[in-house]
Amino acid sequence: MRMPTSFEGSSCRELLILDTGPIRELVLFHAVDRFRFERLRSDLRFISNPESYRTCTQFIASFRRKTTSASIVAELYRWIRETDPKGQARLWNRVYEDFQNMGMDEEVVRLVEMDLRLVVTFGPVDVSLLELARRHADHNPVLLTIDRALQGECQKAGLHVSLVQEVTLMRR
Amino acid sequence: MAPDVATPPPHSKRVQAWVYAIMNPLIESLGREIRLLSEGNLSWRSYSRRCEYIRPIREYIESSQWPNYEDFIGDQLNARFREHLTRHDHQVSEVESAAARLFIGLTDSNEFQKQVEDSLERYVSAARAKPQYPDLGTTSDLAKVVAEYLINRTSVLPGHYMTHNFWEDYRGHFEHYHNPPSFQELDQAAAALNDTSKGLLADLEDHRHYFCVTYDIPAAPIPIEKSFSADAYLV
């Protein structure tokens, strides 16, 4: 019998903002585990077995809403176009299905809305996520990423942030 | 004297192209196909009316390699595959048609709609005490999703899917739809495809072995290490 994760049964949180890394890991693991695209296995970094996948998906499910920025979709495109051309349509298909099945929202953050100093330091993709967190501050958002530098910046700004590599270790 | 064009020479590049660009992708894809079929997961999608990971043979091969595919099926050495490959594609089409008919049959059925409606009502009622249960929309939308899950014999959904809790709680209410006669046509079509794919996979593996031994070629291309010696510049 499986052990419950620490966030199962906890009260529902409102908003999760997803960075590229967690989306890529979810898509890859599903493709490898469910559809046996073994060549993608070496690309997995933090979600490498069914238990870590289950823990991470349960964490995501503990939020009522999930959102990301349009810049993240552009970053997914940059990742997919570097993969084997034969598999690109299938990866996009997985991204579509994951977005649809998790009810992912997608928001545009205009460059001129971003802090120029932060854009210079972190690039517009990471800053779009910080801006989303600021935009939805009333909903106490949590940002999910695999990027420790972004985590540090979020913490400095007083934002809640979780790393996939830490979420997958969370057990009761 | 002119060379014997009917028999490729040892290390033939043409045979290598058949093995690497045609047979290897087919062996990999048919292996996946058989695994999905044995689990009952057709990967059928209502939006496309197609099986997402079970495809006609040509779609398993990169389009730039289609000339090699034509060469493969046109050559006498591979003649025994022609009928087998055609049958495979015909059976994929049969599975997709049977799945589409079943989908329409289910979603048009008053009994099925009522069952979805009842389950959704119970879910909505339970959701009042469980804020992590997301809104699943209308009965009509949910009926399409449930029909697709039944067709693909979906057991457990990933935890972050909106329908995860619904399916975990109410999947059992729909399992009787898997009984004959409703699923009979689809099950028969899938079983026939599974038999064909298994036979095709075994034949392709045998044939690859025959080519490797006969033409002294490896079963997969060997990565060539970069060399900075003068040899690297020799053409």
Per-residue confidence band for A7, with pLDDT thresholds at 50, 70 and 90: low
B63-79 tens-digit pLDDT: 999 999 999 999 999 99
Work out how many domains chain A is built from and give that number.
Answer: 1
| Residue B229 in this model has a pLDDT that exceeds 50 | no
Tell me the average pLDDT across A146-152: 91
CATH number of the domain enclosing A162: 3.40.50.1010
Q: Could you tell me how far CA A120 lies from the centroid of its own chain?
A: 23
| Residue B84 in this model has a pLDDT that exceeds 60 | yes
| Contact across the interface for B158 and A11, Cβ inside 8 Å | no
Give the minimum alpha-carbon distance from B6 to chain A in angstroms, rounded to a whole number: 32
Give the minimum alpha-carbon distance from A116 to chain B in angstroms, rounded to a whole number: 35
Q: Are B14 and B8 in contact (CB under 8 A)?
A: yes
Specify the pLDDT at position B224: 73
Per-residue confidence band for B225, with pLDDT thresholds at 50, 70 and 90: low
Is the residue at A5 inside a domain?
Answer: no
B166-210 tens-digit pLDDT: 999 999 999 999 887 879 999 999 999 999 999 999 999 999 999
- Taking contacts as CB-CB distances below 8 angstroms, the residues of chain A near B157 are 101
Is the residue at A74 inside a domain?
Answer: yes
- Taking contacts as CB-CB distances below 8 angstroms, the residues of chain B near A62 are 132
* Domain span at A63: 13-167
- Taking contacts as CB-CB distances below 8 angstroms, the residues of chain B near A54 are 159
Task: Identify which of B108, B107, B99 has the alpha carbon closest to the alpha carbon of residue B52.
Answer: B99
Tell me the average pLDDT across B93-119: 96
Strand partners of residue A66:
A16, A104
Task: Identify which of B114, B116, B135 has the alpha carbon closest to the alpha carbon of residue B124.
Answer: B135
Is the residue at A49 inside a domain?
Answer: yes
State phi, psi for A145 to the nearest 5 degrees.
-145, 175
B62 touches chain A (CB under 8 A): yes
The residue ranges of every structural domain in chain B are 112-178
Is the residue at A2 inside a domain?
Answer: no
| Contact across the interface for B134 and A64, Cβ inside 8 Å | yes
Q: Which two tokens stand for residue B131?
A: 């804020």
Q: Report how many Cβ contacts below 8 Å link chain A to chain B.
A: 51
Specify the pLDDT at position B67: 97
Per-residue confidence band for B4, with pLDDT thresholds at 50, 70 and 90: very low
A46-56 tens-digit pLDDT: 998 999 999 99
